[in-house]
Chain A
């Protein structure tokens, strides 16, 4: 699995490095533009995780890499496990970059204030409830992006990125229509319950519980996705 992880990492290393730099700048800009941290984490996770993870499928198809990779001492299961390990690392990279930007901004402000100056941060950034909102936003983004990559990755392993690019719009359309069909008349009820939900999320216990539920759901989504990927890749003919 580690060999397969390193092979995947080699393919995207230069791109991930460039992306880390860009992410840092974008996160910094977003923090002050939106006057909030949740968007920063959402953007960082989205840039690091699905954008690069989904592109790994196109590297597989380029120049026969998927066939060449299987001539190296890795098995098909290693390839799939290594891919999911890398996706986890990319998600952590997103969280880490956003965390570094948050820490840098708060630290700079602390140094600024220590020189007996007023804070240069917008007041919203230090508002009550901001840490809870940030944590829930980050975990929700992890879940949403995991659903995206969790659907696309087994499709890439089964059909290859070129075919998936063609069929993905139909998959998304079916997913959205299916979602609306499942929700049915419950949509109005959900909207009505949202203010109460937000009040609960603003509490420490509420945020912690929500984060726990979201992370467990993320892990479950990726576990199901990994199992599907292993099953389809085991039968894929190169």
Chain B
């Protein structure tokens, strides 16, 4: 069985700034995948995305977006590739005086496959009128406009950098439904950087975490949320729990000491529940797993 070509890939990507270094970043988005990209503020998420889109030149490594080398993305070779990519950043970049219909007019001239009907439909469902100016839009409505612009030209890849920030819960549900529909046909993909890990819990296929410029984990989301658990132990139970062998992950046991007790990451919460029925073991969320990996210790 042939493995389909990735829509986006990065190999050993690196970039040096004063006070920050991105190093050895490997990232991949395959067809039909939603890849969640998480990390603390300043961890390197936006730097990685900018390097992938050709906005900055990496100092090390390489990558490709829809087959185009990332170093060519902002040059002539990249313009055809960008016809098939939709990008949403966390702010709406247009001046306040520009109207929604003006943006649509220019996008129609930029994108070969621009679909007015799709854009108008999205605008209607978002409650944004064509005569509204950017200055009249709330932050959430601005994000919706950016999302509509990204979706309305039949892209193959979406890159979202904190795109759901500022959306109310109902609007985030709408946006997630759109993204789910976007990847349904199995040929398109999404790279979604977000601090709202509950959104990724619901939609991501894989989660990649970056910290201090390095990838710290890259795991299928279901492995984290469906299989793993958080064992809420008392201090006196810790030795027996760690000694059971049920807490050994890829990088050893992960333990977080709390005021009230000790949380232990458990790779298989069903096996753990069978062995320790008296110790509460909750679902692991992406947020929980990030805490364990970034802040946890081995005891």
Known: A2-B109, A59-B95, A73-B82. A238 touches B56 (CB 8 A): yes
Does A78 sit within 8 A of B, measured CB to CB? yes
**Distance in Å from the Cβ of A196 to the closest Cβ of chain B?**
50
Q: Considering the chains assembled together, what is the distance between the CA atoms of A64 and B79 in angstroms? A: 19
Q: Which residues of B contact A13 (CB under 8 A)?
A: 98, 102
- Mark the stretch among A4-12, A99-107, A210-218 that contacts chain B: A4-12
- Determine whether the beta carbon of B55 is less than 8 Å from that of A73: no
Query: Complex Cα distance A71/B57, Å?
Result: 14
- B56/A74 in contact, CB under 8 A: no
Contact A74 B110 (CB under 8 A): yes
A-B contact count (CB 8 A): 82
CB distance from B50 to the nearest CB of A (A): 6
Measured CB to CB, the nearest residue on chain A to B108 is: A6
For A7, A71, A73, which residue has the most chain B Cβ atoms within 10 angstroms?
Answer: A71
Q: Which residues of A contact B279 (CB under 8 A)?
A: none
A68 is an interface residue with CB less than 8 A from chain B: yes
Q: Is B225 an interface residue (CB 8 A)?
A: no
CB distance from B143 to the nearest CB of A (A): 13
Asked if B75 and A75 sit within 8 Å, CB to CB, the answer is: yes
Q: Are A74 and B79 in contact (CB under 8 A)?
A: yes
Q: How far is the CA of A10 from the CA of B93 in the complex (A)?
A: 12
CB distance from A27 to the nearest CB of B (A): 24
Most buried by B among A15, A62, A63: A63
A6 adjacent to B106 (CB under 8 Å): yes
Residues of B within 8 A of A65 (CB): 93-94
Within 8 A of B (CB), among A121-139: none
Chain A residues within 8 Å of B97, by CB = 14-15
Q: Is A76 an interface residue (CB 8 A)?
A: yes
Number of B positions contacting A (CB below 8 A): 32
With contact pairs A11-B98, A14-B97 given, residues A71 and B85 touching in the complex (Cβ less than 8 Å) = yes
**Which of B80-128 touch A at CB < 8 Å?**
80, 82-83, 85, 87, 89, 91-95, 97-98, 102-103, 105-106, 109-111
Q: Does A72 contact B (CB under 8 A)?
A: yes
Q: List A contacts of B76 (CB < 8 A).
A: 75, 77
Closest 3 CB pairs of A and B: A238-B55, A71-B87, A68-B93
Residues of A within 8 A of B (CB): 2-3, 6-7, 10-11, 13-15, 59, 62-65, 67-78, 234-235, 237-238
A-B contact pairs, 29 of them (CB 8 A): A2-B109, A6-B109, A7-B106, A10-B94, A10-B102, A11-B98, A14-B97, A15-B97, A62-B93, A64-B91, A65-B93, A67-B93, A68-B89, A70-B54, A70-B55, A71-B82, A71-B85, A72-B110, A73-B79, A73-B80, A73-B83, A74-B82, A74-B110, A75-B76, A76-B75, A77-B76, A234-B75, A235-B57, A238-B50
Known contacts A63-B92, A73-B110, then 11 further A-B pairs from the complex at CB < 8 Å, ordered by chain A residue? A3-B109, A3-B110, A10-B102, A13-B102, A62-B95, A71-B55, A71-B85, A73-B80, A76-B74, A237-B55, A238-B50
Residues in chain B within 8 A of chain A (CB atoms)? 50, 53-57, 74-76, 78-80, 82-83, 85, 87, 89, 91-95, 97-98, 102-103, 105-106, 109-111, 159
